[in-house]
Structure 1
Amino acid sequence: MYDWLIVGAGFAGSVLAERLATERGEKVLIIDRRPHIGGNAYDRFDEAGLLIHQYGPHIFHTNSDQIFDYLSRFTQWRPYEHRVLAEVDGKQLPIPINLDTINGLYGLDLTSEQLTDWFAARAETVEEIKTSEDVVVSQVGRELYEKFFRGYTLKQWGVDPSQLDKSVTSRVPTRTNRDDRYFTDQHQAMPLNGYTKMFEQMLAHPNIHIMLQTDYADVVDEVQFKRLIFTGPIDEFFEYRFGRLPYRSLSFEHVTLEKEWHQPVAVVNCPMQHDYTRVTEYKYLTGQQHSKTSLTYEYPAADGDPYYPIPRPENAERFRKYDELARQTPDVWFVGRLATYRYYNMDQVVGQALATFKRIQAEVPADHSLGDERLGKANGHAADFVTPAGLPL
């Protein structure tokens, strides 16, 4: 008999497993259909001995002291400020767009004050900002939109930016100074020994039992538990009653090169050329010293594991139907990017999980005498959480 069955061993499921086991002394079974813990943040050593991220680069950043302090219980940190270049017109230029981007692209020598006027002269008037295209052209004009944003967004999402919610490109700022950091959060760091080691520490509690390569449908009728936390796709949980919620997927090509370095920064974006969207060189993230270097080429796809909810009005409406169904389902808590159909950063998922635990503390009595009845005060629902400001991973 388990007090909780948690489906998914990524950030949402692992944080809640740790909190329930540590703070409430309850027994938790956490399952994942993959052969490892850590979800999409899973990292591993490749054949060359280089630490790589199996599912593309995961850069930790947050403005929340609470979230950073919580994760610091399970890892030491390596300070790291992320920088990205974009290949445009045969040049590699800083992204987000800043003063050096414009001067480098056009051979200018503008000051920050002059760049403000330069942007204003090219910005298009948009009466109401609704789409991702609206966001960019209203700030910097159509030429920069075409060079830096339209092709990348079209590849990433499979939808023209004019058909995507404004939230996608709103996550990437435009700067008039020379700050070339991708993020400006107060806390920017990487787990010193990698994400997988951090998850291992988080789940190293005698009340937590882990089952990998295990699907929820295969065990739900075999395992005795009182309550359920579900971090997978919410439409899958309800057997696609209202149709499938669309997601974008990714595929990854991992390569090792017989040289020490390949590119000048950790990530190079490819807005126009190539089928892949970006190339990641992991030694910048990890600080590893090695005579070889390992890279990942990232290819967006329509099919495969779900990664990114597609932010369009019709998808939001379909999710609302599932959300309402979730609220009517007793003793099931829906948490995480897939279960709440939101494009969260890692710190936001951690924050959502911590907020969910706080609500569990208030609503669910820590009573170990409930037998095998699945009792609980709260009905199931997609976790409510006001997210801190963030940028795409």
Structure 2
Amino acid sequence: MTGENRGTSRYDYLVVGAGFAGSVISERLASQHGARVLLIDRRPHIGGNAYDEPNEAGILYHKYGPHIFHTNSDQVVDYLSQFTEWRPYEHRVRAVVRNKLVPIPINRTTLNKLFDLDLETDEEAAEYLASRADPVADIQTSEDVVINAVGRELYELFFQGYTRKQWGLDPSELDKSVTARIPTRTNTDDRYFTDTFQAMPRDGYTAMFERILDHPLIEVRTGVDFREFKDRAHEIADHVVYTGPIDEYFDHRFGKLPYRSLKFDHQTLQQDRFQETGTVNYPSPEVPYTRISEYKHLTGQESDVTTVTYEYPSAEGDPYYPIPRPENQELFKRYEALADATENVTFVGRLATYRYYNMDQIVGQALATFRRIDERKQRDGLQPAAVAAE
């Protein structure tokens, strides 16, 4: 898909990063405005972290760890459905705790299995959790959130070790938003997500990205670093859409924004199934990895072999998770002020806005960013080329 070098040709937009944010923006600009777009990515492929491919055994796996699509946004579903059919899939996760395999998020089944109880109703489960909770008057940290909801024992069993591994920090050092994302249930719903739409792209994420970018006005160049273009970016295009790390764009002027990364160990095993659900978490600090995922659950693929991925959090490597601490947010705000003052550059996406977003949220953000570009053109009397040509 990589385009040929067009030399001194000018583009309307240079889009940096071929993940969800960059690809959706590119498609909208080309299809709705008739804009000529040059999309570049430093990796040798499109799709960002959602990239998937068949391995040597023919198993479709996610190179950068499992990506499960779920959303409550009809707008996002309608948009992506132009480029993919869907395979219904509801993700379920188990956690290995005290040598037992129990549902996570914690639900009534988890409590019954772990503590040999016989809670039969939501009310009984709620009363039990309330009896274990240790109320925190002023909730500030991730530790506060969990202890306030379920008490210290469940906090230590499910959250403390996992969080320390994932973030390299104790929950008491992390913003309350980290564990606030994880619900505690009193029913027996063992789905990891409860969104109204839960499905996987039928042919995989990469196939969906290929269709998104299959437009004659979009030229894609992979294996290209923006640093090679930055000094002459506005000779190449009138406007830059940047989806990379915001601190990198400004040459780390105020210092690096902290991220956590991941290392992946992909293994293909000579067996039909490895585990009973798509993902199994390992909260124990004695286990070096945080989780194991098995892709055949996600894709519905049938094979005599299976591929699994062990995830090891790391301080080094590609930026995956912005570390949610007040001082990091303050540092980001300094970069955001620079971004706001930078003309003819639009910053969009997880890395450019230093936020942990799900895939559907990134698509929604990209669509909203396009709408703002569209409104600005109309306000400035710059009729989109696609309209002008009619």
TM-score by length of 1: 0.93
Contact 2:292/2:310 (8 A) holds in 1: yes
Higher mean Cα deviation, 223-232 or 180-189? 223-232
Which of 288, 303, 313 is the aligned partner of 1:290?
Answer: 303
Aligned position for 2:43 = 34
Using the alignment, how far apart are the partners of 2:150 and 2:357 within structure 1? Answer: 26
- What code does the residue aligned with 2:250 have? F
Aligned position for 1:278 = 291
- 1:356 equivalent to 2:365? Answer no
- 1:183 equivalent to 2:196? Answer no
- 1:17 equivalent to 2:29? Answer no
- 1:326 equivalent to 2:326? Answer no
| Offset, 1:110 | 1.0
Which of 250, 262, 266 is the aligned partner of 1:238?
Answer: 250
Aligned position for 1:108 = 117
- What code does the residue aligned with 1:249 have? S
Matching of residues 101-250 of structure 1 within 5 Å: 101-111=110-120, 112-222=122-232, 224-250=236-262
Is the alpha carbon distance of 1:222 and 1:324 closer, same or farther for their aligned partners in structure 2, counting shifts above 3 Å?
A: closer
C-alpha deviations, 1:24-48, integer Å up to 9, x for none? 0000000000000000000000010
Using the alignment, how far apart are the partners of 1:227 and 1:167 within structure 2? Answer: 34
Which ranges in structure 1 are unaligned for 5 or more consecutive residues?
369-393
Using the alignment, how far apart are the partners of 1:15 and 1:346 within structure 2? Answer: 12
Is the alpha carbon distance of 1:276 and 1:340 closer, same or farther for their aligned partners in structure 2, counting shifts above 3 Å?
A: same
Contact 2:263/2:311 (8 A) holds in 1: yes
Using the alignment, how far apart are the partners of 1:366 and 1:145 within structure 2? Answer: 56
| Offset, 1:294 | 0.4
Aligned position for 2:82 = 73
| Offset, 1:17 | 0.2
| Offset, 1:222 | 4.9
Contact 2:32/2:384 (8 A) holds in 1: no
| Offset, 1:191 | 0.1
- 1:89 equivalent to 2:102? Answer no
Number of aligned residue pairs: give it: 368
| Offset, 1:130 | 1.1
Using the alignment, how far apart are the partners of 2:301 and 2:277 within structure 1? Answer: 14
Larger % of helix: which? 2
| Offset, 1:318 | 0.3
- What code does the residue aligned with 1:59 have? I
| Offset, 1:6 | 0.5
| Offset, 1:127 | 1.1
Aligned position for 2:352 = 339
- What code does the residue aligned with 2:370 have? F
Is the alpha carbon distance of 1:175 and 1:310 closer, same or farther for their aligned partners in structure 2, counting shifts above 3 Å?
A: same
Contact 2:165/2:313 (8 A) holds in 1: yes
C-alpha deviations, 1:75-113, integer Å up to 9, x for none? 000000000000000011000000000000011101221
Moved over 4 A (4+): none
C-alpha deviations, 1:275-313, integer Å up to 9, x for none? 110000000000000000000000100010000000000
Using the alignment, how far apart are the partners of 1:64 and 1:43 within structure 2? Answer: 24
- 1:314 equivalent to 2:327? Answer yes
Aligned position for 1:386 = none
Using the alignment, how far apart are the partners of 1:177 and 1:115 within structure 2? Answer: 8
| Offset, 1:366 | 4.5
C-alpha deviations, 1:304-355, integer Å up to 9, x for none? 0000000000000000001011110001100000000000000000000000
C-alpha deviations, 1:155-187, integer Å up to 9, x for none? 001111001011110111000000000000000
TM-score by length of 2: 0.93
Matching of residues 35-74 of structure 1 within 5 Å: 35-74=44-83
Partner secondary structure for residue 329 of structure 1: coil
C-alpha deviations, 1:257-290, integer Å up to 9, x for none? 0000010001000000411100000000000000
| Offset, 1:195 | 0.1
- What code does the residue aligned with 1:234 have? I
C-alpha deviations, 1:108-159, integer Å up to 9, x for none? 1012211111111111121111111111000000000000001111100111
| Offset, 1:221 | 3.7
Q: Once superposed, what is the RMSD of the aligned Cα atoms?
A: 0.9
Using the alignment, how far apart are the partners of 2:383 and 2:31 within structure 1? Answer: 12
Using the alignment, how far apart are the partners of 1:146 and 1:233 within structure 2? Answer: 34
Aligned position for 1:255 = 267
